[in-house]
């Protein structure tokens, strides 16, 4: 398998490209499979509480989304959670929380074992989040954008009574906003941080801060990005904002200004942080150790910064 780092995804002109998602199965209410069976001919697995394991890194913004949505919807009992070590090497994400170094449910030491069981020819970077079927040990999906949408729309029978409706009935405006934020912000920080050419870096940098300026203006007169109601798009932008000053500003050279220097965005990020399901799922220690220790092409010394002070999120 390839290195645990991001180098293989870089393109010759210096522009960084994110790899695609290999496993795109879905867990759906209309699956033609019955409980205990594998996917149907559409690649849809049956909704079955207690069957699936959500594997995440608390350092990863893409995985962090699924942790927040699972918590917001009250799916903790329906879908179990496995947390990998934030330090990833060429073997990929590893399970270290259990004393014997194996996930107690899946019985594996590395997430790559589930990837290779599902596709023995897999030779790309192992990513989180991933949902693994505990009956077969196979990876159902690592399609992070779809995972959170399906938690909202396919697992409704197991939502808690007061769960927020994160997906509006008319999704057009939110989907367009999600796409803009993904391109320029969520993925934009990576395109800047992993660029290997000046022009590619500056293009990503400019697009990032242009989009943050738009969001700053949008939040001048509203509580959340879609108005007065918490939506999926708020979760998606939050996980990038939570890492901005701690990692992206310095480590990824996204340093026109800090999040704390955007009055509306900073107030918005703090509001989200103080909601149940958000701040309690942020682990700044794991976030900083992952980025600064594992990405040695950017930070060869491996020194992890002490700041910023996380108490600022509670003000």
Residues 39 and 151 in one domain: yes
Residues 182 and 152 in one domain: no
* CATH number of residue 242's parent domain: 1.20.1050.10
Residues 150 and 34 in one domain: yes
| pLDDT band for position 12 (cuts 50, 70, 90) | low
Residues 100 and 224 in one domain: no
Q: Which pLDDT tens digit goes with each residue over 209-229?
A: 999 999 999 999 999 999 999
Task: Please give the residue range of the domain that contains residue 249.
Answer: 172-275
- CA-based R_g, the chain, Å: 19
Q: Is residue 290 part of a domain?
A: no
Asked whether the beta carbons of 228 and 222 are under 8 A apart, the reply is yes
Question: Looking at 135, 158, 181, which one is the last position of a domain?
Answer: 158
Tell me, yes or no, if 190 is annotated catalytic. yes
* CATH number of residue 96's parent domain: 3.40.30.10
- Which is it for the CA torsion 69, 71, 72, 75, positive or negative? positive
Residues 11 and 150 in one domain: yes
* pLDDT for residue 4 is more than 60: no
Percentage above 90 pLDDT, the chain = 90
Q: Is residue 54 part of a domain?
A: yes
- Which is it for the CA torsion 61, 66, 67, 71, positive or negative? positive
* pLDDT for residue 5 is more than 60: no
**Total count of domains within the chain:** 2
Q: The tokens of 124 are what?
A: 């790309």
Set 52, 60, 115, 273: catalytic member:
60
Q: Is residue 124 part of a domain?
A: yes
Q: Is residue 111 part of a domain?
A: yes
- Which is it for the CA torsion 239, 242, 248, 249, positive or negative? positive
Mean of pLDDT values over 116-122:
97
Residues 231 and 143 in one domain: no
Residues 58 and 83 in one domain: yes
* pLDDT for residue 2 is more than 90: no
> What whole-number distance in Å separates Cα of residue 275 and Cα of residue 69?
12
Q: Is residue 286 part of a domain?
A: no
Runs of H (alpha helix) within the chain: 61-73, 111-118, 144-153, 172-181, 188-193, 198-218, 232-243, 263-273, 284-294
- The SS3 call for residue 248 is helix
Residues 256 and 211 in one domain: yes
> What whole-number distance in Å separates Cα of residue 214 and Cα of residue 313?
22
> What whole-number distance in Å separates Cα of residue 255 and Cα of residue 194?
15
Q: Is residue 305 part of a domain?
A: no
Tell me, yes or no, if 60 is annotated catalytic. yes
Q: Which pLDDT tens digit goes with each residue over 159-214?
A: 999 999 999 999 999 999 999 999 999 999 999 999 999 999 999 999 999 999 99
> What whole-number distance in Å separates Cα of residue 267 and Cα of residue 220?
10
Q: Is residue 301 part of a domain?
A: no
Residues 136 and 43 in one domain: yes
Residues 178 and 214 in one domain: yes
Residues 128 and 184 in one domain: no
Q: Is residue 191 part of a domain?
A: yes
Set 52, 115, 144, 190: catalytic member:
190
Question: Looking at 131, 158, 185, which one is the last position of a domain?
Answer: 158
- What b/e string do you get for 162-188 counting C-beta neighbours within 10 Å, with b at 16 or more? ebbebbbeeeeebeebbeebbebbbbb
Residues 138 and 230 in one domain: no
């Amino acid at each position: 398998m390839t290195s645990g780092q991001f180098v293989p995804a870089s393109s010759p002109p210096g522009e960084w490209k994110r790899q695609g998602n290999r496993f795109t199965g879905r867990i759906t209410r209309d699956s033609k499979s019955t409980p205990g069976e594998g996917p149907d001919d559409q690649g849809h697995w049956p909704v079955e509480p207690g069957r699936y394991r959500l594997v995440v890194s608390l350092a990863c913004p893409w995985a962090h989304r699924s942790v927040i949505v699972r918590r917001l919807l009250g799916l903790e009992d329906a879908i179990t959670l496995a947390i990998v070590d934030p330090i990833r090497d060429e073997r990929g994400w590893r399970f270290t929380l259990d004393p014997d170094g194996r996930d107690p449910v899946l019985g594996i030491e590395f997430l790559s074992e589930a990837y290779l069981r599902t596709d023995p020819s897999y030779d790309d970077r192992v990513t989180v989040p991933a949902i693994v079927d505990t009956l077969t040990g196979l990876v159902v999906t690592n399609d992070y954008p779809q995972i959170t949408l399906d938690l909202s729309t396919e697992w409704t029978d197991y939502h808690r009574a007061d769960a927020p409706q994160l997906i509006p009935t008319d999704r057009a405006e939110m989907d367009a906003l999600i796409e803009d934020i993904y391109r320029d912000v969520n993925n934009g920080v990576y395109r800047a941080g992993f660029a290997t050419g000046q022009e590619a870096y500056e293009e990503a940098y400019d697009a990032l801060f242009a989009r943050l300026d738009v969001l700053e203006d949008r939040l001048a007169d509203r509580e959340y990005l879609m108005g007065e109601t918490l939506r999926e798009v708020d979760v998606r932008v939050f996980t990038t904002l939570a890492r901005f000053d701690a990692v992206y500003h310095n480590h990824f050279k996204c340093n026109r200004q800090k999040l704390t220097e955007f009055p509306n965005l900073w107030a918005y990020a703090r509001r989200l942080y103080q909601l149940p399901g958000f701040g309690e799922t942020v682990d700044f220690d794991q976030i900083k150790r992952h980025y600064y220790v594992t990405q040695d092409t950017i930070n060869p010394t491996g020194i992890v910064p002490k700041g910023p002070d996380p108490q600022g999120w509670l003000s």
